Chains A and B, each alone.
Chain A
Amino acid sequence: MSVLYEFVYHYNYLITIFLMVAGLYIVIAHGNMIKKLVGLALFQTSVYLLYISPGKIIGGTPPILDPAFSVYSNPLPHVLILTAIVVGVATLALGLALVVRIYEAYGTVEEDEIFSKDGEI
């Protein structure tokens, strides 16, 4: 049991950092703007995981008070991440609206083609 627990404890943080780095790679390496925004959404979601994992208590329950339970998981990260999720979707919608306008102005959503078109003008 404790071997599995140790593995899961390291694994949790490892996967979180892998997701973060994968999101960062997508934002840096790909030129398509919509794919960059997908990578940004992946990055944000991995940060949510990074905040919520330390709040869990093994043997605890969700933080809804009830006389039958005494150990609750930490509710404070949940509050912060609720705000972060909704703010994230608002900025994602704004970013995609900007991508639509860029497409209408330049005719493409590829970064390199936009830079070369800007160089001509």
Chain B
Amino acid sequence: MKLDVILRIGVKLILPFLLLFAFYVHFHGEYGPGGGFQAGVMSAAMVILYGLIFGIDAAKRVVPQRFVELLIPIGVLLYVAAGIPAFFEGHRFLDYGVLSDDAVQGRVLGVLIIETGVLITVAGAMTAIFYAFAERGRG
């Protein structure tokens, strides 16, 4: 039981920094290594770590199953939605230059939007995979 206490307190200290680091990696993906995939996996790792230490029911109270299942298609839709405005200006699909008045700023904005879409889908998919495996074992 002593080891259990160390795990619980240690994990409670680490979890906020894990999420913060995930978002740091995501928003600084244009200036350093990182981007949507790494950030999405780290966000999912936060939920998985919480579920491993405190039990799957506690994890489902914090991040409900319905919410996670909803996240997976929302990321893909956000990605496609960033490419659709180019149609109204006569450009090709996924031409981000039309998202803002300055073409270069539009492209930076477009990259940020699609990276957010990737983060949402990857985080949702990895958490959903963990929930599916964990639920199967409780039968």
A residues with a Cβ closer than 8 A to B are 62, 64, 82, 86, 90, 93, 97, 100
How far is the CB of A31 from the nearest CB of chain B, in Å?
A: 23
User: A56 CA to B136 CA in the complex, in Å?
Assistant: 44
Within 8 A of A (CB), among B6-21: none
A62's contact among B33, B125, B136, by CB below 8 Å, is which?
Answer: B33
A82's contact among B31, B37, B136, by CB below 8 Å, is which?
Answer: B37
Q: What string of 1s and 0s marks CB contacts (under 8 Å) between B121-139 and chain A? A: 0100100010011001000
Which residue of the partner chain B has the closest CB to A65?
A: B31
Which residue of the partner chain B has the closest CB to A93?
A: B129
Whether B33 lies near A97 (C-beta < 8 A) is: no
B32 at the interface (CB under 8 A from A): yes
Chain B residues with CB below 8 A from A93, complex form: 129
Chain B residues with CB below 8 A from A97, complex form: 132-133
Whether A64 lies near B32 (C-beta < 8 A) is: yes
Chain B residues with CB below 8 A from A64, complex form: 31-33
Chain B residues with CB below 8 A from A100, complex form: 133, 136
Q: What string of 1s and 0s marks CB contacts (under 8 Å) between B78-107 and chain A? A: 000000000000000000000000000000
User: A64 CA to B35 CA in the complex, in Å?
Assistant: 13
Chain A residues with CB below 8 A from B129, complex form: 93
Most chain B C-beta atoms within 10 Å of own C-beta, residue among A64, A82, A93: A93
Can you report 13 A-B residue pairs in the complex whose CB atoms are below 8 A from each other?
Answer: A62-B33, A64-B31, A64-B32, A64-B33, A82-B37, A86-B37, A86-B122, A90-B125, A93-B129, A97-B132, A97-B133, A100-B133, A100-B136
